[in-house]
Amino acid sequence: MPPHNKKFLAQKEKEDRQKRIIIIATISVLVIVFALVAYGVIDRFVLTPKVTIIELEDQTISADQFEQQVKWRRRNLIVDIDQMLMTFQQLGGTQEVFGYFEQQLMLAVNSLQQPLLVGQDVLQALTEDIILLVEAEKMGVIVDDARIDNEIQEAFGYFVGGTATPAATLAPSSTPATSDNQDGEPDPTATPLLQPTEYTEELFNNNYQEFLLSVKDAGISEETIRDIIKISVIREEIIEIVSSDIAQETEHVWIRHILVADEDTANEVIEKLADGEDFADLAAEYSLDTSNKDNGGDLDWFSRGAMVQPFEEAAFALEVGEISDPVQTDFGWHIMESLGKDDLLLDPSAYQQLRNQAYVDWMSEKETIYQPIINENWSKFVPSEPALPPDYLAYIQSISLEQPQLPPDVPTDE
């Protein structure tokens, strides 16, 4: 083989150099791509979760926690929409029925389509939550894992050591069938009976795991569920503390009234009462309050906070048997008669309302004291998932048509 000349060797050296450059360049690109991917993974799963969104004293809420809470709120909106559509169908699916749901449906849909609206709501809720966490520590309110476990069990209807949940199953009658019946008719004692099925720990665990799988599909972890339950328990504990001085027994009055449109008519009713005419008869004749005009205008017993302010002030100022001068409210003019005054137990809803108001007042005070630090870039961590299924959105938009097409996942009455 003849020796390579100088020109050939120079050409080969040039080609080898180009190959080396290409290889080095390819490796460099791969290294950069790998580094970018690695940084993305590290940023997503290591750095981002550690970013603080809200901070107050020694309590923090991370970006990961914030994102999870937004996903939970979005999931609940989708569940609400699903339930409204189901009820809409069960009630007939007419335009008249839709009117009862339209405003709520559109509010939920608009929120899902504007992620920052949901993010803002969650940010505000978490700002309250972090104040609760700080105050709970100072008050000595402790919610351990065992308490959270118990709350989860009870939320699923499983009560450790409690009675069986009456989930009906068929069981044979305890009375054996007899052979005395010879006419071919079935013996009634052989009819199966409905008996409750015990809600076992195994059944609870199965239901709970199914729930966890469903929220996992929405990107929500079990830890987030436990955090939500924990703060709910803390809130209830603090409501109990701040409302402990609210008496369950308070002053009540028993009032009947006649509601009219103007002062002249009110004075006319007053004159007739002064002339001895019957209050109940005048209520039936004059009163615009159709809920009680045929019952003598009887409003039954009520406590403070149940009526509008002018009405309440006049009602509690009356002596038993006394009739008021005309009292003006936004509803019209009232003539009242006091039928009784006593200290009575609050009904459960009124008592709970007072407890809740005590908590609202307490939280408002704490919000003026505490100033949680909020990350100004919080909006970057607002997810847009889970999203409302397109079939549901299309169905909602088509309800105005005569025959809207149901999305496949919406149940019907058939």
Domain assignment present for residue 190? The answer is no
Domain assignment present for residue 184? The answer is no
Domain assignment present for residue 253? The answer is yes
Domain assignment present for residue 388? The answer is no
The CATH number given to whatever domain includes residue 288 is 3.10.50.40
Same domain? For 279 and 254 the reply is yes
Q: Provide the domain count of the chain.
A: 3
Distance (Å) of CA 255 to CA 34, 74, 102, 333:
79, 46, 38, 15
Q: Which domain holds residue 350?
A: 65-170+195-248+346-381
Same domain? For 270 and 325 the reply is yes
Same domain? For 127 and 225 the reply is yes
Same domain? For 151 and 203 the reply is yes
Domain assignment present for residue 156? The answer is yes
Same domain? For 208 and 337 the reply is no
- How far apart are the C-alpha atoms of 299 and 304, rounded to whole Å? 14
* pLDDT (0 to 100) of residue 136: 96
* Structure tokens, 93: 């699916």
* pLDDT (0 to 100) of residue 134: 97
Q: What string of DSSP letters covers 87-150?
A: HHHHTT--HHHHHHHHHHHHHHHHHHH-HHHHHHHHHHHHHHHHHHHHHHHHHT----HHHHHH
* pLDDT (0 to 100) of residue 195: 54
- Residue pair 383/219 in contact (Cβ under 8 Å)? The answer is yes
Same domain? For 25 and 93 the reply is no
Same domain? For 100 and 242 the reply is yes
Q: Is 312 helix (H, G, I), strand (E, B) or coil?
A: helix
Same domain? For 15 and 90 the reply is no
* pLDDT (0 to 100) of residue 185: 47
Closest by Cα among 191, 161, 149 to 173? 191
* pLDDT (0 to 100) of residue 56: 96
Same domain? For 85 and 109 the reply is yes
Same domain? For 220 and 279 the reply is no
Same domain? For 27 and 81 the reply is no
Domain assignment present for residue 405? The answer is no
Domain assignment present for residue 335? The answer is yes
Choose one of 345, 373, 397: the last residue of a domain.
345
pLDDT by residue, tens only, the chain of 414 residues? 455 566 656 666 666 677 777 777 777 777 776 766 655 544 445 445 679 999 999 999 999 999 999 999 999 999 999 999 999 989 988 888 888 888 899 999 999 999 999 999 999 999 999 999 999 999 999 999 999 999 999 999 999 866 544 444 444 433 333 344 444 444 444 445 555 567 889 999 999 999 999 999 999 999 999 999 999 999 999 999 999 999 888 999 999 999 999 999 999 999 999 999 999 999 999 999 999 999 999 999 999 888 999 999 999 999 999 999 999 999 999 999 999 999 998 888 888 989 999 999 999 999 999 999 999 999 999 999 999 999 998 888 888 665 545 555 554 444
* Structure tokens, 24: 């080095």
Same domain? For 337 and 351 the reply is no
Closest by Cα among 355, 351, 373 to 363? 355
Buried b (16+ CB within 10 A) or exposed e, 91-105: eebeeebbeebbeeb
Choose one of 325, 345, 365: the last residue of a domain.
345
CA 319 to chain CA mean position, Å: 43
Domain assignment present for residue 391? The answer is no
